[in-house]
């Protein structure tokens, strides 16, 4: 998964572990120590998701969310103390897409950021349903694939795998990420499942599956779809 996240959070272990977890999943991460820094970084970084700690400013939650929204992030996660209903409700009504109360789990925060990025990617794919990568065209709306102008019949998992590779615009997609995003395996495991599906996919879209040109193996790392 690619994408960009801005963490406007207090400098602590939660922020550090969240940043590390996102980077491991190929999400570019920006760090801001104050709301003013976040507003400035948001204009430069153009993040997909901003995670903002409401304790960084004296504003009420709603006012703060509206200020962050002014920097035009696509999605916003607010962090707060969760006391009473006013803070969470005000933050969500002001435009926050999600709210997490202290203490936050870095694992959960990473999962929520990735879920928002995935949702944005799916929305973008729905807006432009066709993904064309050289000889391969993936129609995300109709769940159809053509290769060199000819239709190719794929199973649902094969389609999801090809779409994931095509969405990454020729970039490497790590094995662990494919296992997480397509099979829901959050913990990396030794599995032949991915290799078997890649083999089946190659038989259907490559001219010569024994010498693949479209789905390229990056040894010990993952796969990429040639542009």
| pLDDT score of 80 more than 90 | no
Q: Give the pLDDT score at 73.
A: 46
Picking from 123, 157, 177, the residue at the C-terminal end of a domain is 123
6 contacts: CB under 8 Å, gap ≥ 6: 29, 30, 31, 32, 38, 41, 42, 45, 47, 49, 50, 51, 73
What CATH number does residue 97 fall under?
Answer: 3.40.50.2300
Task: Report the domain count for the chain.
Answer: 2
Task: Give the pLDDT confidence of 98-135 residue by residue, as tens digits.
Answer: 888 888 889 889 988 988 887 776 666 555 578 888 89
Answer yes or no: do 145 and 198 share one domain: yes
Answer yes or no: do 8 and 115 share one domain: yes
Supply the pTM of this predicted model: 0.58
Answer yes or no: do 119 and 162 share one domain: no
Answer yes or no: do 36 and 51 share one domain: yes
Answer yes or no: do 15 and 85 share one domain: yes
Task: Give the pLDDT confidence of 159-204 residue by residue, as tens digits.
Answer: 989 998 998 867 888 888 888 778 776 555 556 788 889 999 999 9
Answer yes or no: do 161 and 177 share one domain: yes
Lowest mean pLDDT among 81-85, 89-93, 145-149, 213-217: 81-85
- List % helix, strand, coil for the chain (3-state, nearest 5): 45, 20, 35
Answer yes or no: do 93 and 41 share one domain: yes
User: How far apart (Å, rounded) are the C-alpha atoms in residues 131 and 135?
Assistant: 11
DSSP letter (8 states) at residue 196: H
Picking from 123, 154, 176, the residue at the C-terminal end of a domain is 123
Give me the domain span that covers residue 114: 4-123
Picking from 80, 105, 123, the residue at the C-terminal end of a domain is 123
What CATH number does residue 192 fall under?
Answer: 1.10.10.10
SS3 state of residue 26: coil
Answer yes or no: do 109 and 176 share one domain: no
DSSP letter (8 states) at residue 39: H
Angle between helices 193-205 and 156-167 (to 10 degrees): 80
Answer yes or no: do 107 and 210 share one domain: no
Q: Which of 29-43, 83-97, 137-151, 158-172 has the highest mean pLDDT?
A: 137-151
Answer yes or no: do 113 and 8 share one domain: yes
Answer yes or no: do 132 and 116 share one domain: no
Answer yes or no: do 202 and 105 share one domain: no
């Amino acid at each position: 998964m690619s994408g960009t996240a801005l963490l406007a959070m207090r400098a602590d272990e939660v922020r550090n572990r969240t940043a590390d977890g996102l980077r491991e999943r190929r999400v570019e991460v920006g760090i801001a120590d104050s709301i003013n820094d976040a507003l400035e970084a948001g204009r430069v970084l153009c993040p997909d998701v901003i995670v903002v700690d409401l304790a960084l400013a004296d504003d009420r939650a709603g006012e703060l969310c509206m200020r962050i929204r002014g920097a035009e992030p696509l999605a916003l996660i607010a962090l707060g103390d969760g006391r009473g209903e006013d803070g969470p409700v005000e933050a969500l009504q002001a435009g926050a897409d999600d709210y997490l109360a202290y203490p936050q789990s870095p694992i959960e925060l990473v999962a929520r950021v990735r879920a928002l990025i995935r949702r944005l990617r799916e929305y973008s794919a729905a807006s432009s349903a066709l993904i064309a990568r050289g000889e391969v065209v993936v129609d995300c709306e109709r769940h159809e694939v053509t290769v060199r102008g000819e239709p190719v019949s794929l199973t649902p998992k094969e389609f999801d795998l090809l779409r994931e590779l095509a969405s990454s615009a020729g970039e490497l997609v790590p094995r662990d990420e494919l296992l997480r995003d397509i099979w829901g395996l959050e913990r990396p495991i030794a599995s032949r499942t991915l290799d078997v599906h890649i083999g089946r996919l190659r038989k259907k879209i490559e001219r010569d599956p024994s010498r693949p040109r479209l789905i390229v193996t990056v040894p010990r790392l993952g796969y990429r779809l040639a542009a």
